[in-house]
Structure 1
């Protein structure tokens, strides 16, 4: 059974049009690389189904040689690069903030996060070919999807600092998990900005502009901001994926798994799990490090006593940053950047 756009039938669909959905924790826990049918989808407007034969990318702004590139141009004129990277929506975990105080928006759980292998041309190579004419500034992206919730309704857009844009990991990608991009994931070409919130990885991109200041697009200048700042790198966070919240398990050894990640190349160094609200912690085993841009899966086997048990997890990154304990101080009216301790409850039955 499949959901719209080739997604798994058990996807948690928050909205049908525009399509917004996340996988169940169990589906996300299946593999370190997320299958395309389980990869979350965040859209602000209807999915534009573009013809790759007629698609063109316009490169303009503070450059010496403006470019107009077809997909064939992009694939033939530039080296192909592959990056394993995790994407995470800025609203990941919003449901936890909604439990503190109501707010509008989709009640994303911790599944608006997923990891894939992306293949494409480095944005830096394209900008260099265009005769980049500045060492400071920003690179703006636009796409043809029209977001009706923007004020006024407009094409989706975003920008990133030029220093990030020129980093090796930022791609103009046309393949995902070894296959051509699906329409719902940005075909024929999307931007992939590892380590930044998913909104900066603009799907269906058709315009790249080097400019002195950040984009004035609604989704850069108004939305996806917190405390007056445009959101960029992702804060260290984690999730418990299996067993699922509310599961009934047998008393005794239970293996608990999840993910942990931090933005902009900051690796995960430690994940700890507690059964008593944080008084005592147990160190989890970290899974393989696929790249500096990918999450780390983790697991731990603990003896669970009969009764209702709350399991808590927290992670640290390489800068020694860790997650805050509670969600209440993180509450904001847009429901962004919830990186509080992960919590789940199990009903543990005696054998």
Structure 2
């Protein structure tokens, strides 16, 4: 991708991409997704494990928002329209009263049907623009973009926007939690701070990631084509 005039309005190191490809670690794209209905288990430091389904989430106000999507590899897609419920509402109206945490929760591990996992501080998840989304651009989510439900956290790189969300693990801290790929999973991954990964500065990682964008897009597209055939 060559830089364009649109790139100058983006966060550091990002370049506009006109399409919105399925992207990520190739191995996860090969995993079967057993559930087609929304089912999010809530476990961890709580009195009562609960399961959030589409029926429970439907009791909350629906919101629609436009947001840019920023991948840590260095590409961005502008003005996606996501629809769902605010994570803050899920936390305050469903999780707190029903699961009843037994300690102060500071970290939530996000686990997905494809075995991917990441985590974010609770303080980041309850920001007003963080959603559990089930629709994209006016249509139900496709498998490529996280069906049946995914996290949308616009202030954070795409790898924190967990797709095919199936479990929330509530923790007091990071003790006992380990990211799948530690180098590529910053504790917060904030776009504005260029927190692309751990141990190396973000500006170095942007150049390290860039050559792999198109090969990953092609590989994951081929997997999707084979799954549909």
Instruction: Give TM-score, length-normalised by structure 1.
Output: 0.46
- Other-structure match for 1:234: 191
1:331 counterpart SS class: helix
Conserved in 2, the CA contact under 8 Å of 1:138 and 1:210?
yes
> What is aligned with 1:211?
171
**Aligned Cα RMSD in Å?**
3.4
CA separation of 1:52 and 1:333: change in aligned 2, threshold 3 A? closer
Q: Give the one of 193, 203, 212 matched to 2:153.
A: 193
Match of 2:204 in 1: 331
Matched, 1:139 2:108: yes
Superposition pairs of residues 1-351 of structure 1, within 5 angstroms: 38-44=19-25, 45-46=28-29, 48-49=32-33, 51-53=35-37, 55-74=38-57, 76-92=58-74, 111-128=75-92, 129-131=94-96, 133=101, 134-145=103-114, 155-214=115-174, 215-219=177-181, 222-225=182-185, 230=187, 232-235=189-192, 330-332=203-205, 335=208
Cα distance in 1 for residues equivalent to 2:207 and 2:180: 14
- Rounded to whole Å, the distance in 1 between the matches of 2:158 and 2:85 is 19
Unaligned runs of 5+ in 2: 8-17, 195-201, 211-229
Task: Give distance in 2, aligned partners of 1:69 and 1:158.
Answer: 19
Q: Secondary structure of 1:77's partner?
A: coil
Q: Which has the higher Rg, Structure 1 or Structure 2?
A: 1
Residues in 2 aligned to 1:177 and 1:61: alpha-carbon distance in whole angstroms: 34
Distance change in 2, residues 1:72/1:138 (3 Å):
same
Shift of 1:61: 2.2
Higher helix residue share? 2
Q: Which runs of 5+ in 1 are unaligned?
A: 1-22, 30-36, 93-110, 146-154, 238-328, 338-351
Note if contact 2:120-2:188 (Cα within 8 Å) is conserved in structure 1. no
2 CA distance for matches of 1:213 and 1:58?
Answer: 19
Deviation at 1:138, TM superposition (A): 0.9
- 1:63·1:130 contact (CA, 8 Å) conserved in 2? no
1:69 is displaced (CA, Å) by 2.0
1:169–1:224 Cα change, 3 Å: same
1:66–1:130 CA contact under 8 A, matched in 2: no
- TM-score, scaled relative to structure 2: 0.67
SS of the residue 1:230 aligns to: coil
TM-aligned CA distance change 1:81 to 1:127, over 3 Å: same
Aligned length: 185
Structure 2: how far apart are the matches of 1:82 and 1:194?
Answer: 13
The higher relative CO (CA closer than 8 Å, separation ≥ 6) is in: 2
Q: 1:84 to 1:50 in 2, by over 3 A?
A: farther
Q: Higher strand share goes to which structure?
A: 1
Deviation at 1:124, TM superposition (A): 1.7
